[in-house]
Structure 1
Amino acid sequence: MDRLQAMQVFTRVVDTNSFTRAAETLDLPRASVTTIIQNLEAFLGTRLLHRTTRRLSLTPDGAAYYERAMRILADVEETEASFQRGNKKPNGKLRVDMPGSLGRLLVIPALCEFHKLYPDIDLQLGLTDRPVDLLQEGVDCVVRVGALQDSSLVARRIGLFEGVSCAAPTYLERAGIPQTLDDLERHQAVNYFSSRTGRTFDWEFLVEGKEVPVKMKGIVSVNDADAYVTCGLEGFGLIQPPLFMVLPHLRSGQLVEVLPDYKPLPMPISVVYPTSKHLSSKVRVFVDWVAELFDRCPLLSGRSSLDKTCTERTFEQREFATTHETPVITEWVA
């Protein structure tokens, strides 16, 4: 029995709470994972996991073995990395997840640059607007928007997400243009609700340094970013999308900014990865690269302006004419 592999398989089963998910993230058949755990328990002479048809749980011996195995694996990885750093470039599979709009409009157009720098990294890029559980899904790092709440994760801030309140001219002709936050009581918005909880998110403004939430009425609610902007373009109500996503629509007149003196609450953009004693070289180089990429884009680095920016040029080059996936920032809070 390969005891190091057995430790890796066992800790992954515990982290994902599933034999099937552990097998998927390790690229092993599920039957192999089951056999490895059975052989490990036989070798140790004790049961490590309580298994039922619905859930897994650690036995007392399993919990003790898990803690020691994690320390051993971290030491092995750190030892190997200390020799590999000077001898070869980062390599292997790297699983990264990020909001679809950021991936398609900013990261993917620059991936050739990353691949030239690190040709031996096999990047598996997930594009989702939902929160991702790094440990359970076997993801190495994610790009998230909002405050980090999970203390088991490390976050490096790489940018700032700035929103804009706007609407289609057809809606404003029908409902009028709001001048103050109080005027919003007489308006409708396209609401965004969480696919996880069903809760509709309030709008949030930054007024004199304080967060001011506003509950918006509306006749349409969606949980898809692309649908959110499309509903705004079709005149269903006010929307509050990221500025970097709708700048071309604002310039073309398809959307009109409202309440320019009351800016939406900006949100930090972070790259997030699990806490560990050693950060693998492939994760480290990706984090450094994506941080530099965001720094080059004024609309995502906190240096926004109405001048032509990297994001607008990306739209023009890729001929994204009228509809684009646009995330709602509150859905991505860690």
Structure 2
Amino acid sequence: MDQLLAIRAFARVVEAGNFTRAADSLDMPNATLSKLVRELEAHLGVRLLQRTTRRVSVTPEGLDYYEKTGRLVRDLEDIDTSFNAARGNPRGKLRIDVGGSTARDVLIPALPDFLARYPDISIDLGVSDRPVDLIGDSVDCVIRGGPLDNSSLVARQIGQARMVTCATPAYLKQFGVPAYPDELKNGHRLISYLSPQSGRAFPFRFERKGEKIEIKTEHRIGVNESNAHLAAALAGLGIVQTFRYAAGPALARGELVEILTKWRPAPYPFHVVYPNNRHVSHRLRVFIDWLMAYLPAKF
């Protein structure tokens, strides 16, 4: 038995919550992973995992073993990382998750610079506005906007995105140009962004000289994906509130017109987020450092 491989296989099952996702993240057959865990249990003489047809749970002995061996594995990875860092040659695969418009307009255009700096790093990019389970889905980090409420995650702010309120010229010609946020309640058609997690519409937010206004009126259409949200505005379906970096090209071409310019919303914070119980590899560390240095200007 390769004990180190078996320990890593067992740890990934604990983190992923089932054998299938753990096997996928380690790029090994499910049967091989199951065999490694059985051999580890036989070697230790204890049951580490309680298996049923529907779920896998960790026994008290398994949790204790996971915590103790986790420290040893991280120490070994620290040694490997120190050698890699000394050579200045991080390598391996990064799994990154990012929202739709942020991927299209901010991250992907910047990636050639990162990949040129670190040619031995490859990237698997998950693009979705829906939240992911970083540990269960074996994601190294996510880039997300808005407030964070999960204390088990480490978050570093990488920038603040400007927000704009806009609509097509044809829409504004038909329905008029509002001069004050409350006018949005009177006959205007709003395109709301729906939370991919809860399905609830985010209110339209406005600020001016310390005064804050939220408009929570019935929307004409709601969309839960950022690229489609902007596409709805470009189709003339109504007024949208979105990121300046996403709407910028359409504003420059005259396809959208910014309104309520004296009532711009507060900037929207963006963070890079990763689990606090996972070793930060050299490749993830250089990626985060690159994000902190390179991306703020893109927002």
TM-score range, shorter chain: over 0.9
Deviation at 1:116, TM superposition (A): 2.4
The change in CA–CA distance for 1:165 and 1:275 in structure 2 (over 3 A counts) is same
The change in CA–CA distance for 1:80 and 1:290 in structure 2 (over 3 A counts) is same
Counterpart CA distance in 2 for 1:168 and 1:153 is 40
Structure 2 residue aligned with 1:21: 21
The residue type paired with residue 26 of structure 2 is: L
| 1:55-80 deviation digits (Å, cap 9, x = unpaired) | 22111111111111211111111122
Counterpart CA distance in 1 for 2:222 and 2:111 is 34
Q: Kindly indicate whether the alpha-carbon contact (under 8 Å) linking 2:129 and 2:224 is maintained by their aligned counterparts in 1.
A: no
Counterpart CA distance in 2 for 1:11 and 1:241 is 41
The residue type paired with residue 78 of structure 1 is: D
Counterpart CA distance in 2 for 1:227 and 1:84 is 42
Counterpart CA distance in 2 for 1:7 and 1:182 is 60
The residue type paired with residue 291 of structure 2 is: V
Query: Which piece of structure 1 moves more, 133-142 or 111-120?
Result: 111-120
The residue type paired with residue 163 of structure 2 is: G
Structure 1 length-normalised TM: 0.83
Structure 1 residue aligned with 2:227: 226
Deviation at 1:210, TM superposition (A): 5.9
Query: How many matched pairs?
Result: 298
Counterpart CA distance in 1 for 2:258 and 2:88 is 51
Deviation at 1:100, TM superposition (A): 2.7
Counterpart CA distance in 2 for 1:205 and 1:248 is 22
Counterpart CA distance in 2 for 1:194 and 1:278 is 31
| Stretches of structure 1 lacking an aligned partner (at least 5 in a row) | 301-334
Counterpart CA distance in 1 for 2:53 and 2:162 is 46
Counterpart CA distance in 2 for 1:110 and 1:250 is 21
| 1:143-176 deviation digits (Å, cap 9, x = unpaired) | 1111222212211211111110111122222222
Structure 1 residue aligned with 2:199: 198
| 1:26-65 deviation digits (Å, cap 9, x = unpaired) | 1111111111111111111111112122222111111111
| 1:267-302 deviation digits (Å, cap 9, x = unpaired) | 1111122215852110111112222221343xx1xx
Counterpart CA distance in 1 for 2:281 and 2:14 is 21
Counterpart CA distance in 1 for 2:38 and 2:108 is 42
SS in 1 for 2:262: coil
Structure 2 residue aligned with 1:242: 243
SS in 1 for 2:154: strand
Structure 1 residue aligned with 2:158: 158
Q: Kindly indicate whether the alpha-carbon contact (under 8 Å) linking 1:188 and 1:216 is maintained by their aligned counterparts in 2.
A: no
Query: Which piece of structure 1 moves more, 257-266 or 221-230?
Result: 221-230
The residue type paired with residue 35 of structure 1 is: K
The change in CA–CA distance for 1:195 and 1:98 in structure 2 (over 3 A counts) is closer
Q: Kindly indicate whether the alpha-carbon contact (under 8 Å) linking 1:146 and 1:269 is maintained by their aligned counterparts in 2.
A: yes
| Stretches of structure 2 lacking an aligned partner (at least 5 in a row) | none
Q: Does 1:293 align with 2:287?
A: no
Structure 2 residue aligned with 1:80: 80
Counterpart CA distance in 1 for 2:173 and 2:283 is 52
Q: Kindly indicate whether the alpha-carbon contact (under 8 Å) linking 2:163 and 2:244 is maintained by their aligned counterparts in 1.
A: yes
Structure 1 residue aligned with 2:149: 149
The change in CA–CA distance for 1:63 and 1:218 in structure 2 (over 3 A counts) is same
The change in CA–CA distance for 1:296 and 1:228 in structure 2 (over 3 A counts) is closer
Deviation at 1:196, TM superposition (A): 3.0
CA RMSD of aligned residues (A): 1.9
The residue type paired with residue 198 of structure 1 is: G
Counterpart CA distance in 1 for 2:157 and 2:246 is 20
SS in 2 for 1:229: helix
Q: Kindly indicate whether the alpha-carbon contact (under 8 Å) linking 2:105 and 2:245 is maintained by their aligned counterparts in 1.
A: no
- Choose between structure 1 and 2: higher strand proportion: 2
Q: Does 1:68 align with 2:72?
A: no
Q: Kindly indicate whether the alpha-carbon contact (under 8 Å) linking 1:90 and 1:281 is maintained by their aligned counterparts in 2.
A: yes
The residue type paired with residue 153 of structure 1 is: L
SS in 1 for 2:163: coil
Counterpart CA distance in 1 for 2:157 and 2:237 is 34
Counterpart CA distance in 1 for 2:67 and 2:2 is 19
Query: Which piece of structure 1 moves more, 31-40 or 186-195?
Result: 186-195
Q: Does 1:38 align with 2:34?
A: no
The residue type paired with residue 218 of structure 2 is: K
Q: Kindly indicate whether the alpha-carbon contact (under 8 Å) linking 1:157 and 1:271 is maintained by their aligned counterparts in 2.
A: yes
Query: Which piece of structure 1 moves more, 171-180 or 203-212?
Result: 203-212
Counterpart CA distance in 2 for 1:150 and 1:178 is 38
Q: Kindly indicate whether the alpha-carbon contact (under 8 Å) linking 1:190 and 1:232 is maintained by their aligned counterparts in 2.
A: yes
The change in CA–CA distance for 1:211 and 1:57 in structure 2 (over 3 A counts) is farther
